[in-house]
Amino acid sequence: MQHIIIITGAGKGIGKAIALDFAKASQTYHDFEPLLILVSRTLSDLEAVAEECRACGAVADIILADIADTEQIDQLVSTTLERYGTIDCLVNNAGVGRFKPFTELTVDDYEYTMATNLKGTFFLTQKVFPVMEKKRSGHIFFITSIAAERAFKSSSLYSMSKFGQKGFIEAIRLYAKSCNVRITNVMPGAVYTPMWGEVSAEMKAVMMMPEDISTPLVHAYLLPQRTSVEELVIRPVCGDINE
Ligand SMILES: NC(=O)c1ccc[n+]([C@@H]2O[C@H](COP(=O)([O-])OP(=O)(O)OC[C@H]3O[C@@H](n4cnc5c(N)ncnc54)[C@H](OP(=O)(O)O)[C@@H]3O)[C@@H](O)[C@H]2O)c1
């Protein structure tokens, strides 16, 4: 059976690993045929990921979009529906962070963070949800963070945005339950991805890898429709970094 799956931020890091794990699952589960719609702002990244997904036997399409721009969100959803007629899964993974002491953060840092993490996530979900509500099935994942539940000193804006995402998730779950739509909040601790820039070898050694997040996410999707994994909290075994 074909599954139309939109993954935002699919060009790098955790989003890329999610795309590849969905593609690989099609080799294990023969009735699972993922059609992956890979979204980000960088075409070359998406082309490379699409190529890897196709090599695993999945169908992969690319839509270039900045989710901070609501017109581009509208375009992303209408293009998907024109091409494929429905949406079975949305992975709200695209996110940004600017990590500095609270006193050094600027208006630009604020607007940049909130435009993607809050506004983009909210309006993309709002646009996709009615498609799932109407057919009474679907699954929406949110990659928030452990920073959606606890604060770190250099993460004031990032935490604000992630706490905000968690509030939104808890509200949308109230709608989703009544129409059979599954909502999963994925809260990872530190994962070694381009978001971190340069990291020391010592730090890398205690961080998780993107596939540590993507593997349980794909398993949650493949569980029977009657089952909803509401939260996945995944930390490095030694605990949070900068604890
Ligand atoms: N890495 C961690 O330790 C960690 C821990 C907990 C949670 N998370 C969360 O996990 C998610 C993925 O993080 P990551 O570490 O994989 O980040 P990453 O390596 O920086 O990758 C982020 C991806 O999102 C895309 N993106 C960013 N802003 C976008 C926008 N406005 N519109 C469309 N695409 C956008 C980026 O591509 P372009 O820049 O090309 O658009 C990129 O493909 C984020 O929500 C992050 O907050 C990460």
Question: Architecture of 2-234 per CATH?
Answer: 3-Layer(aba) Sandwich (3.40)
Q: What is the pLDDT of residues 42-74, one digit of tens each?
A: 999 999 999 999 999 999 999 999 999 999 999
Q: What does pTM read for this prediction?
A: 0.98
- Please give the pLDDT value at position 242: 72
**Does the C-beta of 166 come closer than 6 Å to ligand 1?**
no
What atom of ligand 1 comes closest to residue 188's alpha carbon? 6
| Of 34, 40, 36, the residue nearest 9 (C-alpha) | 40
The CB of 60 under 6 Å from ligand 1? The reply is no
Q: Where are the domains of the chain?
A: 2-234
Whether 24 has a pLDDT exceeding 80, the answer reads yes
Could you tell me if the CB of 66 is within 6 A of ligand 1?
A: yes
Of the candidates 154, 92, 80, 91, which has an alpha carbon nearest to the alpha carbon of residue 119?
92
Burial classification of residue 185, based on how many CB atoms lie within 10 Å of its CB (0-12 exposed, 13-18 middle, 19 or more buried): buried
Best substitution site from 91, 111, 125, 143 to test ligand 1's pocket, by max atoms within 8 Å of Cβ? 143
Question: Which residue owns the Cα nearest ligand 1 atom 46?
Answer: 95
CA distance linking residue 212 with residue 226, whole number of Å? 25
| Pocket lining: 41 vs ligand 1, CB cutoff 6 Å | yes
Query: Which tokens go with 18?
Result: 């999610």
pLDDT of 4 above 90 = yes
Q: Is 212 within 8 Å of 192 (Cβ atoms)?
A: no
Q: Residue 243's pLDDT is what?
A: 56
Q: Is 150 touching ligand 1 by the criterion CB < 6 Å?
A: no
Residues 6+ apart with CB under 8 A from 81: 87, 131
What pLDDT was estimated at residue 241? 85
d(CA 89, CA 130): 13
pLDDT digits (tens, 9 = 90+) for 91-136: 999 999 999 999 999 999 999 999 999 999 999 999 999 999 999 9
